[in-house]
Amino acid sequence: MNFTEEMKDRVLRGEQIGRQEALRLLTEPLDGLQKAAEEIRRKVCGNGFDLCTIVNAKCGRCSEDCKYCAQSASYRTSCEESYPLLSTEELLAGAKHNAQQGVLRYSIVTSGRRLSDVEVEQVCGSIRRIREETSIEVCVSLGLLDETQFRRIKAAGASRVHCNLETSARYFPSVCTTHTYEEKIRTLQAAKRAGLSICSGGILGLGETMEDRIDMVLAVRELGVKSIPVNLLNPIPGTPCEKNEPLTNEEACRCVAVFRFLVPDASIRLAGGRGLVGDKGLACFQSGANAAISGDMLTTAGITVETDKEMIHALGFEVRRCNG
């Protein structure tokens, strides 16, 4: 029995694998790694596929200096659009449109370090209307809020909070200097205490090592995260990451497959940047991934819900809500 098969059997027995084992898996033959990750996904998660969309509910002029982001006020990019928090009617219209397309979750995402209490109350009003008038689940990504604010959001009807760790604790200061990795951890912990499920992952291709990628997934595993977005860096001109080389499809598949070994029961969610690989993520969905953010991203074009649903069904998945 080779090492990949040995680790697969351990995972299927309910054992956790650790950092050194994950790093060794990254060097194993890709074909066997993909097949083993798919077997884990099928046996642990079944054929469910969790589909969500996001809305850029407050855009631009962000105070934070995240080195990949087109919306940061620290850089000069082609993203010149800037607007305050969208109205309830605008957010409701988007939610209804996505619900009609069969999308399961609709995430309200805002730029900036955090929303003010007044803005949080406005978002709560929007969430209440969406939950009253549609069946779609509402998620939020509103920055570094506290537990009291999250409790208001939970009471309004939201079910999940998103806050990406982006990378490892070691590499995070190379990605952002205006807030800390520890603040992100505290944000996720506060959301969890408020009774919300949490969604957190990161971006591959920021200049991090394979060790950093594994450490990021181990960190979200320790937090109990069951929805893990995997973004592939889209190098935005004008940002410090503009000259970074995009990941190859093979590298993306290898990472996704090993992530499945580490978090066998999670929704591994392909997110931004998958349009940069030629197959739009198809091979990653055959390497253990079982969820996606569909439609447009925050400032870049994505893949249409219709196109994604065709691919999902062709692969034998069933669109349904997974992990809460």
Secondary structure (DSSP) of 189-255: HHHHHTT-EEE--EEE-SS--HHHHHHHHHHHHHHT--EEEEEE----TTSTTTTPPPPPHHHHHHH
Q: What is the mean pLDDT of residues 107-133?
A: 96
Report yes or no on whether pTM surpasses 0.85: yes
> pLDDT tens-digit profile of 219-253?
999 999 999 999 999 999 999 999 999 999 999 99
Does position 60 have pLDDT exceeding 80, yes or no? no
Share of the chain above pLDDT 70, in %: 97
Domains of the chain are 18-319 (3.20.20.70)
DSSP of 286-307: GTT--EEE-B--SSS--B-HHH
pLDDT at 99 over 80: yes
Q: Which of 71, 75, 73 is nearest to 109 (CA)?
A: 71
> What is the number of other CB atoms lying within 10 angstroms of the CB of residue 22?
21
The model's pLDDT over 263-309, given as tens digits with 9 standing for 90+, comes to: 999 999 999 888 888 788 899 999 999 999 998 656 555 688 999 99
